[in-house]
Amino acid sequence: MKKLAIVQLPPVFLNLTKSIEIACDSITEAAREGAQLVMFPEAYLPGYPSWVWRLRPGGDMLMFKELHHVLFKNSIDLSKNQLSDIQETAKKKNVTVAIGFNEINSEASGSTLFNSYAIIGPDGEILNLHRKLIPTNPERMVWGWGDARGLNVVDTPAGKIGSLICWENYMPLSRFSLYAQGVEVYLAPTWDCGESWLGTLKHIAREGGCWVAGCSTAIQCCDIPDDVPFKDDVFPEPDDWLSDGDAVLFKPFGCAVAGPMSREKGILYAEYDLEEVIDARRSLDIGGHYSRPDIFNLTVDKSKMDSFHLKKAS
């Protein structure tokens, strides 16, 4: 049996240094509880830019501009090893960590942000970096488009792990690209929540015959620091929930075995058995005997390589 920890504690919104401290403390706590895999939500560092759903794209442009500026100054530049504290904690505690963050495009203009998700092995190395392929609706005012280089499943002591971010999980070819690589633990970090989203994760567990973990950040307006620009305009009601969290783990071809943990700021723990993947795929293996490669073929173009992947390949 393996043990998973799903963290849906709020970060210190738009404060990268303090958010990394919370992440490292959470990894340490999860390791103390026996977790081999620690999962964080989408854009955890330094928080999801939820103002894109609350402001008008034209009339509120001044607020957009100032909030984006603070976000940019608190985003991760991998060329400067700004995930090093997370990596060192993963290594020290001998756990696999999956974490979402706002990433600065350092290999080109140095100005574009990406919605990125990293899987870090228990040796502290970044095993995979995935950039969200299509930012969802108004998110395109914040993030650029990713490419296919991160559509990978990586071997870890916690299982074969792959991840898609939020509404990428509605893209059937993206899902299949992970199924075809034998994903055992499918991570779906998100900003979404509620019954329709949970139904999506349950379907993926059935479709892929894999363990499926999902979580958003459980956060209220009162969690937004007072020094965030235009806090009173953008987040006026302290008790409002920006996202419910809904940390959950579904078993292969089955129901939830832990969660959903709704409107609760904490860590959800769950045990999982990789042998159940084999059992689920005995009758339905859409990356194997149900794939019909004589009829269907999926080609994923991974030829576009950014600086991170060039470094890994060299």
Q: Is the pLDDT of residue 293 over 70?
A: yes
Residues 229, 249: Cα–Cα separation, whole Å? 36
Across the chain, what does the average pLDDT equal?
94
Listing DSSP states for 105-149 in one string gives: -TTTTS--EEEEEEEE-TTS-EEEEEE-SS--GGGGGTB----GG
Determine the pLDDT at residue 110: 80
Q: Is the pLDDT of residue 314 over 50?
A: no
Determine the pLDDT at residue 301: 87
pLDDT digits (tens, 9 = 90+) for 162-205: 999 999 999 999 999 999 999 999 999 999 999 999 999 999 99
Determine the pLDDT at residue 299: 87
Residues 288, 119: Cα–Cα separation, whole Å? 25
Nearest to 40 by CA among 22, 14, 13: 22
pLDDT digits (tens, 9 = 90+) for 76-106: 999 999 999 999 999 999 999 999 999 998 7
pLDDT digits (tens, 9 = 90+) for 192-238: 999 999 999 999 999 999 999 999 999 999 999 999 999 999 999 99
Residues 241, 234: Cα–Cα separation, whole Å? 13
Q: Where are the alpha helices (DSSP H) in the chain?
A: 16-32, 61-73, 84-93, 172-179, 195-208, 231-234, 275-281, 307-313
The total of other beta-carbon atoms located within 10 Å of residue 285's CB is 17
Q: Is the pLDDT of residue 280 over 80?
A: yes
Determine the pLDDT at residue 291: 85
> What does CATH list as the number for 2-313?
3.60.110.10
So which residues are the catalytic ones?
A: 42, 132, 166
Q: Is the pLDDT of residue 37 over 50?
A: yes
Q: Kind of pairing, strands 37-39 and 2-7?
A: parallel
Q: Determine what percent of the chain is predicted with pLDDT higher than 90.
A: 85
Q: Determine what percent of the chain is predicted with pLDDT higher than 70.
A: 96
Q: Please give the model's pTM, rounded to 2 decimal places.
A: 0.94
